[in-house]
């Protein structure tokens, strides 16, 4: 709390006590209390309160100590408290329900015999959960385990091998970034200042540095974060929409950007609110996100809708009680499913009559939505379209994304060239979310196969990652690799790299 908000909360409490004329009845101890001193306070206390606001609190050492000291504990029903205070060993009140708390306090103060009954039950139970008693149980368990023959445990196997990945590096991203934002394009490995900046890339950059800080605790990634956040804030219009392009001289080059760039920005902001490294960044992300929110249901582009759905999903994972935003996600999911139903014919299970760019984003959005909505129709649509895309782009054991030269129209020939890194990124993210949702290891393998597209497992058998500059080339054409290393391509590689590591960690922590 000190790191995120300083003394703001303590100062608020002091002012509240003063405004309620309770100064002579409330004492704040401005010091760290060691265990021995804590026991003294708990032994002197009649009641102990733990008003946590989050149910997902699996343990509270102080609550355990309070029971051991014979305190009557009064708590919100977080997981540990619900278990520990059952059978009359304490009292529970609803989250943020101060009236219910007041009622319980007054009841126990007016009826000392009820207070004493809770204290006695708490003390009797507390004697059995002291460390010496728990230690005996651990000792008995250890003896039983040692007396039984060891059981062979099969080691989990996957083709994912983080040791084969190049070392993670932000060198090229730092090269492309100045105090305005990340430069859009590069000539080979050198920033092309003539092309200026765009919202898409600054949104992707924000997503990447947040992932890098979460995954690797890379402080240099954290230092880049406010630059990209500031760019996004600067580009937002009064109606909540965003401009996209800015010249190197900081002149606006458009009045309103594409819906794709809007959606990618919402994605990054949603991820920020679910993974904010501090409160200031959270509040800024929340401000811009909710300024844009009235435009969510006005979107027409299915990729703009899909990117926005992903951002909403990340926001909802940390704010699951927001029914209004959950309803928005439900409506946007329905739009994608309607497009799918309108365009699907015979063996063409897709959202439009062609496979164009950033294709994996569409099933990815439904996979995210399925996790939150628990809707079988959404899940079925997500898996059906993902499998359709897989059947076309996974061949001979490697990824062959749809080329952007002519795309792939139903009943036509697919374009092989102008393959771009953002399409490989979309496939990596799609399979990672599919694995997260289903725990099916085949998706983890397909994720890694998709990532290896960057390192040469592609139609040209040429690596797009530059081991010298730490950037990623802009794709490949019929005459070979495009050696320019712009922001979009390099960020696509780095986000994919971080996603592989995240999926690998999840696999070995799961029961899959």
DSSP assignment of 113-182 equals: HHHHHHHHHHHHHHGGGSHHHHHHHHHHHHHHHHHSPP---PPP--S--GGGSPPP--HHHHHHB-SS-B
- 248 and 129 in one domain? no
- Torsion angle, alpha carbons of 223, 229, 230, 234, to 10: 170
Domain containing 83: what range?
A: 31-147
- 170 and 77 in one domain? no
Residue 12, pLDDT score: 83
CATH number at residue 402: 1.50.10.10
Cβ–Cβ < 8 Å for 81, 63: yes
Residue 4 falls inside a structural domain: no
- 87 and 225 in one domain? no
Question: 414: left (phi > 0), else alpha (psi -120 to 50), else beta?
Answer: beta
- 142 and 225 in one domain? no
Q: How far apart are CA 197 and CA 393, in angstroms?
A: 31
Closest CA to 459 of 485, 477, 432: 477
Of 102, 122, 147, which one is at a domain's C-terminal end?
147
Residue 154, pLDDT score: 60
Cβ–Cβ < 8 Å for 257, 240: no
Residue 106 falls inside a structural domain: yes
- 397 and 280 in one domain? yes
**Structurally, how many domains does the chain consist of?**
2
Closest CA to 86 of 73, 71, 100: 73
Residue 5 falls inside a structural domain: no
Structure tokens at 198: 């765009």
Residue 498 falls inside a structural domain: yes
- 132 and 73 in one domain? yes
Of 147, 180, 204, which one is at a domain's C-terminal end?
147
Q: How far apart are CA 300 and CA 123, in angstroms?
A: 63
Cβ count within 10 A of residue 503: 24
- The side-by-side arrangement of strands in the sheet containing 90-92 is 47-50, 72-75, 90-92
3-state secondary structure of 452: coil
Cβ count within 10 A of residue 113: 7
Residue 512, pLDDT score: 46
Residue 261 falls inside a structural domain: yes
Q: What is the pLDDT along the chain (512 residues), one digit of tens a residue?
A: 555 556 777 888 889 999 999 999 988 888 888 888 888 888 889 999 998 887 877 788 888 888 888 889 999 999 888 998 999 999 999 988 999 999 999 999 999 999 999 999 988 988 888 778 888 889 988 888 888 887 765 656 666 777 789 999 999 999 999 999 999 999 999 999 999 999 999 999 999 999 999 999 989 999 999 999 999 999 999 999 999 999 999 999 999 999 999 999 999 999 999 999 999 999 999 999 999 999 999 999 999 999 999 999 999 999 988 999 999 999 999 999 999 999 998 889 999 999 999 999 999 999 999 999 989 999 999 999 999 999 999 988 999 999 988 899 988 888 888 999 999 999 999 999 999 999 999 999 999 999 999 999 999 999 999 999 999 999 998 889 999 999 999 999 999 999 999 998 888 777 54
CATH number at residue 104: 3.40.50.2000
- 245 and 346 in one domain? yes
Residue 497 falls inside a structural domain: yes
- 373 and 482 in one domain? yes
Of 124, 147, 170, which one is at a domain's C-terminal end?
147
Residue 172 falls inside a structural domain: yes
Residue 245, pLDDT score: 98
- 174 and 141 in one domain? no
Residue 38, pLDDT score: 85
Residues 140, 143, 147, 150, CA torsion sign: positive
Q: How far apart are CA 63 and CA 84, in angstroms?
A: 9
- 56 and 190 in one domain? no
Helices (DSSP H) in 300-406: which residue ranges? Answer: 302-318, 323-343, 361-373, 376-393
- 219 and 113 in one domain? no
- 490 and 356 in one domain? yes
State pTM to two decimals: 0.74
CB neighbour list of residue 436: distance below 8 Å, 6 or more residues apart: 371, 503, 506
Residue 26 falls inside a structural domain: no
């Amino acid at each position: 709390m000190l790191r995120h908000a300083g003394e703001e909360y303590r100062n608020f409490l002091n002012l509240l006590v003063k405004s309620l004329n309770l100064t002579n009845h409330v004492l704040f101890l401005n010091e760290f209390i060691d265990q021995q001193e804590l026991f003294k306070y708990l032994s002197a206390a009649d009641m102990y309160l733990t008003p946590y606001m989050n149910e997902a609190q699996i343990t509270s050492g102080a609550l355990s100590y309070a029971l051991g000291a014979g305190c009557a504990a009064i708590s919100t029903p977080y997981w540990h408290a619900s278990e520990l205070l059952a059978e009359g060993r304490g009292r529970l009140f609803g989250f943020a329900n101060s009236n219910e708390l007041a009622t319980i306090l007054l009841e126990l103060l007016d009826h000392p015999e009820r207070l004493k009954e809770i204290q006695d039950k708490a003390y009797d139970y507390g004697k059995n959960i002291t460390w010496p008693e728990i230690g005996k149980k651990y000792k008995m368990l250890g003896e039983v385990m040692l007396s039984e023959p060891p059981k062979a445990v099969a080691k989990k196997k996957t083709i994912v091998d983080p040791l084969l990945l190049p070392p993670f590096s932000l060198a090229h991203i730092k090269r492309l970034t100045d105090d305005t934002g990340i430069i859009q394009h590069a000539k080979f490995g050198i920033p092309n200042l003539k092309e200026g900046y765009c919202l898409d890339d600054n949104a992707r950059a924000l997503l990447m540095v947040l992932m890098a800080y979460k995954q690797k605790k890379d402080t240099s990634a954290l230092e880049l974060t406010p630059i990209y956040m500031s760019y996004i804030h600067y580009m937002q219009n009064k109606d909540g929409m965003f401009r996209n392009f800015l010249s190197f001289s900081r002149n606006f080059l458009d009045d309103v950007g594409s819906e794709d760039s809007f959606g990618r920005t919402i994605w990054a902001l949603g991820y920020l609110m679910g993974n904010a490294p501090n409160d200031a960044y959270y509040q800024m992300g929340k401000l811009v996100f909710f300024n844009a929110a009235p435009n969510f249901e006005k979107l027409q582009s299915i990729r703009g809708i899909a990117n926005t759905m992903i951002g909403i999903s990340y926001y909802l994972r940390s704010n699951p009680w927001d029914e209004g935003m959950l309803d928005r996600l439900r409506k946007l999911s329905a739009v994608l499913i309607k497009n799918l139903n309108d365009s699907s014919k015979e063996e063409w299970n897709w959202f439009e009559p062609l496979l164009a760019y950033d294709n994996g984003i569409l099933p990815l959005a439904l996979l995210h939505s399925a996790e939150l909505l628990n809707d079988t129709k959404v899940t079925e649509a997500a898996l059906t379209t993902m499998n359709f895309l897989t059947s076309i782009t996974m061949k001979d054991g490697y990824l062959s994304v749809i080329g952007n030269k002519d795309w792939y129209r139903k009943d036509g020939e697919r374009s092989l060239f102008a393959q771009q890194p953002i399409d490989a990124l979309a496939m990596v993210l799609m399979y990672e979310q599919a694995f997260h949702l289903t725990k099916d290891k085949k998706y983890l393998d397909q994720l890694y196969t998709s990532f290896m597209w960057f390192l040469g497992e592609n139609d040209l058998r040429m690596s797009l990652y530059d081991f010298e500059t730490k950037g990623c080339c802009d794709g490949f054409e019929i005459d070979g690799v495009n050696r320019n290393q712009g922001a979009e391509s390099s960020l696509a590689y780095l986000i994919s790299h971080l996603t592989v590591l995240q999926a690998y960690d999840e696999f070995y922590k799961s029961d899959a």
